[in-house]
């Protein structure tokens, strides 16, 4: 009798354990699926991430070498560790034209109440330009040293700074008790990653649907461009500018290098890192001789003569002799991010004109 009961108990215990294991595995799978779903929200960008948890969001942003966590909530502030921000943000101050570009992408520049503009250049976002002129958007001066009195008077819900650029400003904002968040879009390695920062602003403004629609269109257009150039031979691309005697080239892990790849180009400067690097003119001339096309990333040069006037040795480059040097349009630095797909198509078209017959580049102009 004892043995029979023992067998029943063992059998029952075995079944119970199997059911428990299956339940744990199922729960684990469900949890993994949820995490995977969250991670899929940001596919290209490496410097921010978003998690959605019902009535709140968790926005993680890399600021320098530190990851900061922001809890975005609507009504009730969750009892969670992190910097709490009530959304949607109604009064926003931005410190870069790229911030305006990403807000323009989701029709959200109306929340901007202040901008570190300084009046030194033309603003190509028409609504923002009108409001700066009328005073509806306050010009806060330089992003390195904004007018803090005006900033305080604005009572912003949030200030968007530039990561790795204005550390003193962030320290001052903390001192004043003004909430801020850093934007690291410019440090991304992929042009699609930069464009994907639209989701960062969307999370702050409850504009996720608009951001997804915008970004999906950009992504699909870039895929189509890549498919067009995929089977053709790559063209050697030189991308540089010379300012006050120094030669600046994007590094090999920069979004420019990745953009060149998407456009069917072989980028000639493959030193590691993002951002730009200063090189010697001699190095530019040596590597540049291999170039089939060059982008001189400034709108201040208007002709080949202007290039030659910078340094006569530049006239010895093959791209100069063949007239395949392009500059950028004055609105490139503002509208280029907004139209990432167009910039990549432009680059593909100047590198592979036979594949884009009849197409006129929007952001690059051939020098003559």
- Rounded (10°) CA dihedral 210, 213, 214, 215: 120
CA dist., res. 61 & res. 41, Å (int): 14
pLDDT of residue 175: 96
DSSP 60: E
pLDDT of residue 80: 94
CA dist., res. 113 & res. 238, Å (int): 40
| Contact between residue 227 and residue 352 where contact means Cβ atoms under 8 Å apart | no
Quick one: 360 exposed, middle or buried, by C-beta within 10 A (0-12, 13-18, 19+)? Answer: exposed
CA distances from 42 to 29, 52, 225, 275, 333 (A): 21, 12, 22, 22, 24
CA dist., res. 92 & res. 183, Å (int): 13
> Which residues, listed in sequence order, are joined to residue 158 by a DSSP beta bridge?
92
| Contact between residue 45 and residue 193 where contact means Cβ atoms under 8 Å apart | yes
> Which residues, listed in sequence order, are joined to residue 67 by a DSSP beta bridge?
62
CB-based contacts of 160, cutoff 8 Å, min separation 6? 92, 93, 94, 95, 96, 99, 180, 181, 182, 183
Q: What is the mean pLDDT of each run of 10 residues along the chain (368 residues)?
A: 37 38 36 37 96 95 94 95 97 98 98 93 96 97 95 98 88 96 95 98 98 99 98 97 95 97 97 94 95 97 97 97 98 98 99 98 98
Task: Specify the CATH superfamily of domain 232-366.
Answer: Nitrogenase molybdenum iron protein domain (3.40.50.1980)
User: What CATH class has 48-215?
Assistant: alpha beta
| Contact between residue 178 and residue 151 where contact means Cβ atoms under 8 Å apart | yes
Task: Give the pairing type, strands 276-279 and 180-183.
Answer: unpaired
Domain boundaries, the chain: 48-215, 232-366
CB-based contacts of 174, cutoff 8 Å, min separation 6? 180
| Contact between residue 172 and residue 95 where contact means Cβ atoms under 8 Å apart | no
CATH topology identical between 48-215 and 232-366: yes
CA dist., res. 58 & res. 203, Å (int): 9
**CB environment 186-221: b (16+ within 10 A), e (fewer):** bbbbbbbbbbbbbbbbbbbbebbebbeebbeebbeb
| Contact between residue 58 and residue 190 where contact means Cβ atoms under 8 Å apart | no
CB-based contacts of 62, cutoff 8 Å, min separation 6? 46, 47, 48, 68, 163, 184
């Amino acid at each position: 009798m004892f043995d029979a009961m023992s067998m029943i108990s063992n059998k029952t215990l075995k079944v119970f354990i199997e059911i428990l294991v299956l339940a744990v595995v199922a729960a684990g799978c469900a949890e993994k699926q949820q995490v995977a779903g969250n991670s899929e929200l940001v596919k290209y960008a490496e410097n921010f991430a978003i998690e959605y948890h019902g009535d709140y969001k968790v926005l993680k942003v890399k600021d320098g070498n530190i990851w900061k966590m922001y809890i975005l909530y609507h009504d009730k502030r969750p009892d969670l560790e992190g910097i709490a921000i009530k959304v949607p943000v109604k009064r926003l101050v931005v410190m870069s034209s790229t911030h305006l570009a990403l807000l323009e992408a989701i029709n959200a520049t109306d929340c901007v109440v202040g901008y570190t503009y300084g009046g030194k250049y033309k603003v190509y976002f028409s609504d923002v330009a009108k409001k700066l002129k009328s005073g509806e958007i306050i010009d806060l001066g330089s992003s390195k040293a904004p007018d803090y009195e005006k900033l305080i008077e604005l009572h912003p819900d949030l200030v968007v700074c530039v990561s790795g650029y204005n550390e003193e400003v962030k320290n001052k904002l903390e001192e004043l008790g003004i909430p801020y968040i850093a934007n690291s879009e410019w440090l991304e390695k992929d042009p699609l990653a930069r464009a994907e920062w639209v989701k960062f602003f969307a999370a702050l403004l409850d504009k996720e649907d608009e951001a997804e629609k915008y970004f999906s269109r950009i992504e699909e257009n870039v895929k189509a461009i890549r498919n067009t150039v995929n089977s053709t031979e790559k063209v050697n691309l030189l991308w540089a500018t010379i300012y006050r005697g120094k030669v600046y080239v994007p590094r090999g892990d920069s979004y420019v290098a990745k953009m060149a790849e998407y456009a069917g180009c072989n980028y000639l400067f493959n030193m590691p890192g993002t951002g730009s690097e200063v090189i010697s003119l001699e190095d530019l001339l040596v590597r540049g001789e291999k170039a089939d096309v060059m982008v001189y990333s400034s709108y201040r040069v208007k002709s080949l003569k202007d290039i030659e006037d910078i340094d006569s040795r530049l006239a010895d480059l093959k791209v100069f002799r063949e007239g395949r040097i392009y500059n950028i349009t004055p609105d490139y630095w503002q509208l280029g991010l907004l139209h990432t797909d167009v910039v990549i198509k432009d680059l593909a078209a100047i590198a592979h004109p036979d594949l884009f017959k009849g197409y006129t580049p929007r952001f690059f102009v051939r020098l003559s």
